[in-house]
């Protein structure tokens, strides 16, 4: 088969008839034409190469992208399938986080469709999040690796699945870390929230949204127990300020676009598969390693107290909120009528001081702690929290049933198992 060169240029001399009287002119013309054709050929070859390279690069990006493609869409649809009558299809953000993983498993267990979304950031050891994802995967839950601020990803997810609900648990957590990396709180807790709401407002149908606010919004409030009607305009940390901003932002989207939105103010959640940055978790690690633990005290050496709430009780509150969320009334970004806007406390209603928490850990670990008492620094922490849960109880029957003694026993059993002691770690629901 002739090559491109053969097609364009004759290989046998004499195929061009040249008038002898104009030989020099024709030679010059032939030489110029040949150079011109070669130039065209090189330009065409270069253009073809660049076009092919662009195709290869695009294909490479497509193949290596963490989302997109036929197989990816199939995984998303399969995970979102509902397996019970009257079930719901839920997008869970922060699905490999502490609360997110538990809520995802509980939804799947009762037959709801669940698709997870998580960016696997390194605020704490991502290997724990990967382990949670493996657990979710074993139950048929697909977790998309991506960021809330990726508008194209969110739009694609809603294009593939008509989610009935969003359980928004993704956030930059932690009170003290805000002093080190404040931008991360704005990026996740404000910009990420707005991006999610923008996607939800434009979805057709619009999903109902339940999201995690925080008990931190009560800030310097001294009235106890904390009630949803109490003032929340004195945040003590940037984290609290971003959560308070989230409550105002969600109210705006409810008012303008008809999104049904429920905010949940969690009170110091603890339990198996918890966050390593939480006090009970780090205390356990240091006690087992023989290292001292730092226990903060308030003014006049008053012990700090927290309304510790076991993860299973929080999960019940999340599911109850989803089931009673009501429906969004907008369509394609336009409000058709008023929609529910609610905020609830989810706590245990029984504050316990930190020294007593350490006593319980010592009992279950069978190791004495090396306690180092320090005056609480001005880093955003508050001296106590105490939830009034009457609104959640009246609205969807929320009733915590796990006391701190029982909950910490379950946590210690998981911790010893997960970090290489006796049996394989399990997440029980």
Identify the CATH number of the domain defined by range 69-269+311-348+386-401: 3.40.50.720
Reply yes or no on whether 239 is catalytic.
yes
Cβ contact 160:73 at 8 Å = yes
Neighbours of 277 (CB within 10 A): 15
pLDDT at 20: 41
Cβ contact 91:166 at 8 Å = yes
CA distances from 26 to 22, 152, 220, 370 (A): 6, 61, 95, 100
Structure tokens at 304: 């700090």
Q: Distance between CA 172 and CA 123 in Å, rounded?
A: 8
Classify strands 305-306 and 352-353 as parallel, antiparallel or unpaired: antiparallel
Q: Count Cβ atoms within 10 A of the Cβ of residue 257 and give its class: 0-12 exposed, 13-18 middle, 19 or more buried.
A: buried
**Nearest CA to 207 among 384, 329, 40, 298?**
329
Comma-separated ranges of CATH 3.40.50.720 domains in the chain: 69-269+311-348+386-401
CA distances from 347 to 136, 144, 312, 344, 410 (A): 26, 30, 11, 10, 18
Q: Provide the phi-psi class of 302: left if phi over 0, else alpha when psi is between -120 and 50, else beta.
A: beta
For 170, residues 6+ apart whose C-beta sits below 8 A from its C-beta are 93, 94, 97, 100, 117, 118, 119, 148, 188, 192
pTM of the model: 0.83
Angle at 44 between CA 40 and CA 50, to 5 degrees: 145
Which listed residue (177, 239, 253, 280) is catalytic? 239
Positions in the chain short of pLDDT 70: 1-65, 378-380, 421-429
Q: Distance between CA 312 and CA 290 in Å, rounded?
A: 30
pLDDT at 422: 54
Peptide bond into 390 cis (omega under 30): no
For 99, the enclosing helix (H) or strand (E) is helix 98-109
Structure tokens at 216: 């931190």
Cβ contact 346:392 at 8 Å = yes
Cβ contact 225:267 at 8 Å = no
String of DSSP letters for 344-382: EEE--S--EEHHHHHHHHHHHHT---EEEEEEPPSSS--
Neighbours of 274 (CB within 10 A): 20
Cβ contact 311:99 at 8 Å = yes
pLDDT at 15: 35
């Amino acid at each position: 088969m002739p090559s491109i060169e053969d097609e364009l240029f004759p290989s046998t001399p004499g195929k061009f008839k040249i008038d002898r009287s104009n030989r020099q002119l024709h030679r010059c013309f032939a030489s110029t034409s040949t150079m011109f054709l070669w130039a065209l050929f090189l330009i065409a070859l270069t253009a073809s190469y660049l076009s092919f390279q662009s195709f290869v690069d695009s294909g490479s990006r497509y193949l290596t992208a963490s989302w997109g493609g036929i197989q990816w869409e199939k995984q998303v649809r399969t995970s979102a399938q509902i397996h019970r009558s009257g079930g719901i299809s839920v997008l869970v953000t922060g699905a490999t986080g502490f609360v997110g993983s538990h809520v995802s498993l509980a939804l799947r267990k009762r037959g709801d469709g669940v698709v997870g979304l998580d960016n696997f950031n390194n605020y704490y050891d991502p290997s724990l999040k990967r382990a949670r994802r493996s657990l979710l995967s074993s139950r048929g839950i697909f977790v998309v690796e991506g960021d809330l601020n990726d508008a194209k990803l969110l739009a694609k997810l809603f294009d593939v699945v008509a989610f009935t609900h969003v359980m928004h648990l993704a956030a930059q957590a932690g009170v003290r870390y805000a002093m080190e990396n404040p931008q991360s709180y704005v990026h996740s807790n404000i910009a990420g929230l707005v991006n999610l709401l923008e996607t939800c407002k434009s979805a057709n149908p619009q999903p109902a949204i339940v999201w995690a606010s925080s008990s931190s919004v009560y800030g310097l409030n001294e009235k106890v127990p904390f009630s949803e009607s109490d003032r929340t305009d004195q945040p003590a940390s940037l984290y609290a300020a971003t959560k308070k901003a989230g409550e105002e932002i969600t109210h705006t989207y409810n008012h303008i676009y008809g999104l049904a939105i429920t905010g949940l103010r969690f009170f110091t959640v603890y339990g198996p598969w918890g966050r390593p940055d939480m006090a009970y978790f780090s205390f356990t690690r240091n006690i087992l390693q023989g290292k001292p633990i730092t226990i903060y005290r308030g003014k006049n050496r008053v012990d700090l107290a927290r309304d510790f709430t076991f993860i299973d009780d929080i999960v019940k509150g999340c599911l109850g909120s989803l089931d009673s969320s009501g429906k969004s009334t907008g369509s394609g970004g336009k409000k058709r009528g008023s929609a529910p806007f609610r905020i609830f406390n989810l706590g245990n209603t029984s504050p316990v001081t930190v020294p007593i928490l350490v006593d319980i850990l010592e009992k279950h670990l069978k190791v004495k702690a090396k306690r180092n008492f320090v005056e609480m620094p001005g880093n955003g922490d508050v001296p106590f929290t105490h939830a009034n849960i009457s609104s959640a109880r009246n609205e969807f029957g929320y009733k915590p049933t796990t006391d701190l003694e029982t909950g910490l026993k379950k946590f210690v059993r998981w911790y010893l198992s997960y970090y290489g002691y006796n049996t394989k770690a399990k997440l029980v629901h």
